[in-house]
């Protein structure tokens, strides 16, 4: 057996030349490169025995995450269970949900009221004190590993909090630290940037720079004014951030979500998004991970149109991220909910299904962020639909005031100038459960549950890894209490970041309750997904040609087995002709070829038994 040191050298030798080449191309600094290698060696040797073992076994089986057995859930530690120790006590619940991958939303130290939900990190090596300690993190990850649960965390690379030590020292005028950010004495250069760089938060944090009254300088802040963009032209920033990454990896993290990755390189005269240096940095990070902690997966957060997303997978020879979010599919799904027209979604799914199978997407209905209406407006334009009017319709629909809608939710960053707005709400409220429960309308409640389950069944049928948003398994509704919290009131994303309602969760055990009906149906779907091989990432997936535009058909085939899913986005029952005899995967009953009724907002999952 080779020692940790031999293993490190062997892994390093596989990547050394390319890593050095890219590093020198970006920084032309041999001594900083030497420091990088020496330091990552210490992280490799400091990895625990258990993590080294898992690295070795995952290295042997690099497709370990591509099957049909991973199910994720994203959760806020405080909302879910108060603290890291609390989450540890709730691992049975997580297991009971069929979940074996949890994304712990940002938990590193941050300044209350200036935290952007934890995405303004004050210290990359300290857990937010009210959530626990680094030791708690290590014991939580190891308890998760004992249960076969993978742990994901955010690595916020683009910026630090203004209260991070580097920022404080920069603010005090220490040149060494100022060079880790973008500082300007006058607005001349920022003004040039503003000509080409779009705004992330046009209403809640307009512009890309912040004036610092105390030091009489501007600093670049693409997100909130207290999130200072890091300057990756400085190799010290790159090296230190890689050390932070490895430090966290050594706490037992399995999946690192690289937050806001497209933004990390800035160049005057550009949009400062997706520049080629970003890819160089991600590629270097991937190699560093493969050298030090090959059991880790990199998940890129690229909330952009499909042409911008896919390059973050890199190439077969030079991979970058292991996984990316299927963001356009998510937005197109909600577009279909509002329009009952699957055309856009079909074309989006067909495009994703045509991509190489080694590309693994994370599929989701809702997450902690808003839904941005990033749709194929070229396609809509060909049907005479304009972008602005369509976004207006979608936002009206989901607020429940257009198009026979039962949805409830709120706008996010409504920009009066462009007319643009994004949207926030929980899955259940979007599906009409909130309105139905409030009006006590049993038929509407049934319909909302059916819709919610159908959307999950469809999401599970996409290629990749499904991720649930905590609370969705029991149909948590929008939480309007953030309106009364001055630290949150401006950010409507808090509407879907409510506390986990454990009384509601307990009702998942009580037959006939809304929670039980949702929970058990989702569990059943998870079971089907896990037991049917055609759900794996390697399966061939296709969009079926169905005449009725409100019904989506997906077929997956793998090793001679074929399953087909029919999903009805309309409020009417639909009759669809199925070409083969099969067995209904939900009821277990045999079904002949021919006409099948798909109930309003319902679905059928069929496994072909003969031609």
**From the candidates 301, 320, 473, 515, which is the catalytic residue?**
301
What are the structure tokens assigned to 414, written together?
């409504």
Interaction between residue 140 and ligand GLC (CB under 6 A): no
Nearer to ligand GLC, 297 or 435 (CB): 297
Q: Least Å distance between CB 370 and ligand GLC?
A: 9
Interaction between residue 369 and ligand GLC (CB under 6 A): yes
CB–CB of 412/423 below 8 Å?
Answer: yes
Alpha helices by DSSP H, 415-497: 427-430, 433-439, 442-461
HSE-up of 373 (CA within 13 Å, CB side)?
A: 28
Indicate which single residue of 86, 117, 202, 549 sits in contact with ligand GLC (rule: CB under 6 A): 117
Q: Which are the contacts of 461, defined by CB distance < 8 A and separation ≥ 6? A: 535, 554, 556, 565, 605
Q: Which stretch binds ligand GLC (CB under 6 A): 116-124, 182-190, 447-455, 552-560?
A: 116-124
Interaction between residue 330 and ligand GLC (CB under 6 A): no
Interaction between residue 420 and ligand GLC (CB under 6 A): no
Interaction between residue 364 and ligand GLC (CB under 6 A): no
Interaction between residue 526 and ligand GLC (CB under 6 A): no
Interaction between residue 598 and ligand GLC (CB under 6 A): no
Indicate which single residue of 119, 177, 193, 469 sits in contact with ligand GLC (rule: CB under 6 A): 119
Nearer to ligand GLC, 237 or 543 (CB): 237
Q: Which residue is nearest to ligand GLC (CB)?
A: 119
What are the structure tokens assigned to 336, written together?
């279909």
Interaction between residue 203 and ligand GLC (CB under 6 A): no
Q: Least Å distance between CB 471 and ligand GLC?
A: 17
273-312 positions binding ligand GLC, by CB under 6 A: 301
Q: Least Å distance between CB 319 and ligand GLC?
A: 23
Interaction between residue 116 and ligand GLC (CB under 6 A): yes
Is 259 tagged catalytic? Answer: yes
What are the structure tokens assigned to 265, written together?
């390189």
Interaction between residue 494 and ligand GLC (CB under 6 A): no
DSSP string, 401-417: SSSS-----EEES--TT
Interaction between residue 223 and ligand GLC (CB under 6 A): yes
Indicate which single residue of 55, 136, 259, 290 sits in contact with ligand GLC (rule: CB under 6 A): 259
φ, ψ for residue 259 (rounded to 5)?
-70, 140
Residue in this structure with the two tokens 């602005």, named with its chain if needed = 388
Nearer to ligand GLC, 223 or 245 (CB): 223
DSSP string, 103-144: EE---EE-BTTBSGGGTS-SEEEEE-TTT--HHHHHHHHHHH
- Residues binding ligand GLC: number (CB under 6 A): 10
Interaction between residue 237 and ligand GLC (CB under 6 A): no
Q: Which stretch binds ligand GLC (CB under 6 A): 59-67, 111-119, 206-214, 292-300?
A: 111-119
Q: Least Å distance between CB 547 and ligand GLC?
A: 39
Among 605, 272, 400, residue whose Cα is nearest residue 411: 400
> What is d(CA 373, CA 564) in angstroms, rounded to the nearest whole number?
28
Which phi-psi region, left, alpha or beta, contains residue 412 (left: φ > 0; alpha: ψ -120 to 50)? Answer: beta
HSE-up of 174 (CA within 13 Å, CB side)?
A: 10
Q: Cα angle vertex 416, ends 415, 421, to 5°?
A: 35
Among 293, 247, 314, 231, residue whose Cα is nearest residue 27: 231
Nearer to ligand GLC, 54 or 231 (CB): 231
Q: Least Å distance between CB 491 and ligand GLC?
A: 9
Nearer to ligand GLC, 109 or 259 (CB): 259
Helices and strands in the chain: count of H runs, count of E runs? 22, 25
CB–CB of 549/573 below 8 Å?
Answer: no
Q: Which stretch binds ligand GLC (CB under 6 A): 45-53, 113-121, 539-547, 571-579?
A: 113-121
What are the structure tokens assigned to 531, written together?
């037991």
Q: Which stretch binds ligand GLC (CB under 6 A): 8-16, 114-122, 165-173, 529-537?
A: 114-122
**From the candidates 259, 410, 472, 526, which is the catalytic residue?**
259
Beta pairing class for 574-578 and 561-568: unpaired
Interaction between residue 225 and ligand GLC (CB under 6 A): no
Q: Which stretch binds ligand GLC (CB under 6 A): 21-29, 115-123, 497-505, 522-530?
A: 115-123
Kindly list the distances between the CA atom of residue 478 and the CA atoms of 87, 117, 118, 129, 404, in Å, as whole numbers in the listed order: 22, 17, 20, 28, 20
DSSP string, 150-198: EEEEEEE-SEEETTSHHHHHHHTT-HHHHTTS-EESSSHHHHHHHHHPP
Nearer to ligand GLC, 302 or 605 (CB): 302
Interaction between residue 423 and ligand GLC (CB under 6 A): no
Q: Least Å distance between CB 501 and ligand GLC?
A: 23
Indicate which single residue of 157, 260, 296, 457 sits in contact with ligand GLC (rule: CB under 6 A): 260
The SS3 of residue 1 is: coil
Q: Cα angle vertex 470, ends 465, 471, to 5°?
A: 130
What are the structure tokens assigned to 306, written together?
């499909």
Q: Least Å distance between CB 601 and ligand GLC?
A: 29
Interaction between residue 19 and ligand GLC (CB under 6 A): no
Is 301 tagged catalytic? Answer: yes
Nearer to ligand GLC, 66 or 159 (CB): 159
- A 10 A CB-CB count for 512 gives 8
Residues of this chain that interact with ligand GLC (CB under 6 A) are 116-117, 119, 156, 223, 259-260, 301, 368-369
Catalytic residues: 259, 301
């Amino acid at each position: 057996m080779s020692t940790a040191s031999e293993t490190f050298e062997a892994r390093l030798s596989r990547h050394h030349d390319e890593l050095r080449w890219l590093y020198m191309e970006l920084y032309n600094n041999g001594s900083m490169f030497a420091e990088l290698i020496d330091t990552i060696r210490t992280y490799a040797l400091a990895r625990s025995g258990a993590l080294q073992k898992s690295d070795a076994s995952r290295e042997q089986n690099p497709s370990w995450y591509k099957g049909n057995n991973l199910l994720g859930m994203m959760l806020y530690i405080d909302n879910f269970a108060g603290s890291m120790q609390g989450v540890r006590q709730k691992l049975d619940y997580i297991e009971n949900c069929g979940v074996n991958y949890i994304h712990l939303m940002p938990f590193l130290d941050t300044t209350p009221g200036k935290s952007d939900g934890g995405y303004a990190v004050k210290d990359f090596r300290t857990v937010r004190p009210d959530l626990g300690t680094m030791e708690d993190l290590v014991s939580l990850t190891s308890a998760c590993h004992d249960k076969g649960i993978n742990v994901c965390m955010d690595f916020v690379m683009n910026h630090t909090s203004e209260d991070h030590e580097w920022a404080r020292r920069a603010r005090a005028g220490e040149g060494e630290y100022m060079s880790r950010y973008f500082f300007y004495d006058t607005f001349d250069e920022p003004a040039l940037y503003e000509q080409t760089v779009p705004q992330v938060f046009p209403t809640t944090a307009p512009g890309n720079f912040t004036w610092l009254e105390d030091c009489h300088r501007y600093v670049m802040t693409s997100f909130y004014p207290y999130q200072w963009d890091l300057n990756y032209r400085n190799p010290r920033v790159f090296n230190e951030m890689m050390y932070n990454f490895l430090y966290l990896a050594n706490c037992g993290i399995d999946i690192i979500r690289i937050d806001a990755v497209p933004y990390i390189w800035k160049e005057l005269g550009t949009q400062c998004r997706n520049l080629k240096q970003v890819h160089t940095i991600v590629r270097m990070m991937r190699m560093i991970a493969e050298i030090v902690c090959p059991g880790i997966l990199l998940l890129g957060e690229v909330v952009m149109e499909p042409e911008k997303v896919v390059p973050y997978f890199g190439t077969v020879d030079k991979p970058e991220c292991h996984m990316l979010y299927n963001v356009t599919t998510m937005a197109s799904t909600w577009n279909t909910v509002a329009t009952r027209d699957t055309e856009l979604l079909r074309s989006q799914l067909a495009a994703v299904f045509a991509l190489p199978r080694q590309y693994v997407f994370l599929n989701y209905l809702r997450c902690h962020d808003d839904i941005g209406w990033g749709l194929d407006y070229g396609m809509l334009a060909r049907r005479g639909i304009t972008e602005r009017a369509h976004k207006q319709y979608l936002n009206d629909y989901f607020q429940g005031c257009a198009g026979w809608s039962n949805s409830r939710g709120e706008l996010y960053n409504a920009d009066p100038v462009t007319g643009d707005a994004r949207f926030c709400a929980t899955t259940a409220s979007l599906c009409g459960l909130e309105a139905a429960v409030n009006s006590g309308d049993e038929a509407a409640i049934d319909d909302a549950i059916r819709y919610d389950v159908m959307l999950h069944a469809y999401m599970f049928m996409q290629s990749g890894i499904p991720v649930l948003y905590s609370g969705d398994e029991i149909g948590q509704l929008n939480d309007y209490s953030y309106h009364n919290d001055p630290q949150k009131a401006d950010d409507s994303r808090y509407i879907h970041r409510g506390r986990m309602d454990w009384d509601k969760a307990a009702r998942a055990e009580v037959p006939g309750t809304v929670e039980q009906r949702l929970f058990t149906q989702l569990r059943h779907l998870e079971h089907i997904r896990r037991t049917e091989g055609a759900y794996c990432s390697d399966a061939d997936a296709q969009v079926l040609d169905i005449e009725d535009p409100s019904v989506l058909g997906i077929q997956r085939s793998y090793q001679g087995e074929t399953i087909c899913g029919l999903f009805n986005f309309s409020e009417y029952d639909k009759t669809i002709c199925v070409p083969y005899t099969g067995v209904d995967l939900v009821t277990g009953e045999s079904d002949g070829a021919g006409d099948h009724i798909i109930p309003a907002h319902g679905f059928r999952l069929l496994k072909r038994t003969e031609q």
